Amino acid sequence: MTAPWFVPAGERPEGRVRLYAFPNAGGGPASLTGLAAAFPPEVEVWAVNLPGRQARLAEPPRDDLDGLVDDLARDLLATARPPYALFGYCSGALLAYLVCRRLTELSASAGPPPDPGPPPDPGRAAPGSPPDPGWPGSGSRAALVPVQAAERPPLPERLLVGSFAAPDVALLLRRLPSLPSWLFWEQLIELGGVPAEVAEREVLRPILEPALRADFGMLAGYRHVPAPPLPVPVTVLYGARDRSVSRGGLLGWRRQSVHRPSLRELDASHWLAEEAPDRLAAAIIEEIGCVWATA
């Protein structure tokens, strides 16, 4: 049986809006447990469940970014319950952005329902033939509206990105995945590429390293391809003490949406979910609050 691509981070039977969360490199659903707990019952957090970590530790991690994006987008199209939003955290912001872009492409390819054309003229029907049941005048009240094609798949109400620069200007660690283990961890910790609690637990490094290498490998191989701005509003969340992302990198998200981005500064460093889960959840709630108010 294939493991699900997204899993709920706690049961929320009263949830009215879903927030699909993409954690930082090497992270899994458990990485966002503290953040998920900070939301009110109306918000149901679902986390991406990638292979090679936590519940899917026995599976090899994915290293094909394009294929992964396609799998996640198609799963969301099949299972997402609108209204919903996407939240990408740290390097997970790039994955969330690419999934949002793929969702937009898939939705556009569905196209609008076809024009059914003019109704047939009942006066021209062959003698003795029954009236067309699909149009008014047929005598069937259930068929007053012609059959339409499937509705266009729903897009997320908002894309929220945390602690990550716009994809066309983001500084990616292209050499990191190829370094030997000792140097990989030295560089990763020096650059602040993992939360402090992960950096301090050396005993877990052999378990965490395959997923981290795979995730940073996908990042290293990313080459931005210009595309039309998303029709989805974007919120950029960042820490006031984060020195890894420039102001220009944050403002660059305005090129990725037809809507003016919303920038939200939090009292934290790079690791918003670890240092300030309550403030991060509150900011996200404000950004998507109008969604569940009308859900």
d(CA 40, CA 175) in angstroms, rounded, equals 41
Token pair in block for residue 123: 């006066």
d(CA 85, CA 232) in angstroms, rounded, equals 10
- Position 47 scores a pLDDT of 96
Sequence letter at residue 266 = L
Q: Is 90 helix (H, G, I), strand (E, B) or coil?
A: coil
d(CA 63, CA 10) in angstroms, rounded, equals 28
Residue in this structure with the two tokens 């939705």, named with its chain if needed: 107
Is residue 85 over pLDDT 60? yes
How close are the terminal C-alpha atoms of the chain, in Å? 33
- Position 108 scores a pLDDT of 86
Q: Look at residues 97, 91, 93, 101 and name the one whose alpha carbon lies nearest to residue 217.
A: 91
* Mean predicted confidence (pLDDT) in 231-240: 98
Token pair in block for residue 284: 């996200």
Q: What is the pTM of this model?
A: 0.84
Give the pLDDT confidence of 31-70 residue by residue, as tens digits: 999 999 999 999 999 999 999 999 999 999 999 999 999 9
Token pair in block for residue 223: 């080459």
Is residue 126 over pLDDT 50? no
* Residue 129: Cβ-neighbour burial (10 angstroms; 0-12, 13-18, 19+): exposed
* Residue 229: Cβ-neighbour burial (10 angstroms; 0-12, 13-18, 19+): middle
d(CA 48, CA 20) in angstroms, rounded, equals 7
> Who wins on pLDDT, 283 or 113?
283
- Rounded mean pLDDT of the chain? 86
Binning pLDDT at 50, 70 and 90, where does residue 154 land? Answer: confident
Residue in this structure with the two tokens 């997970």, named with its chain if needed: 92
Residue in this structure with the two tokens 């993409």, named with its chain if needed: 22
- Position 52 scores a pLDDT of 96
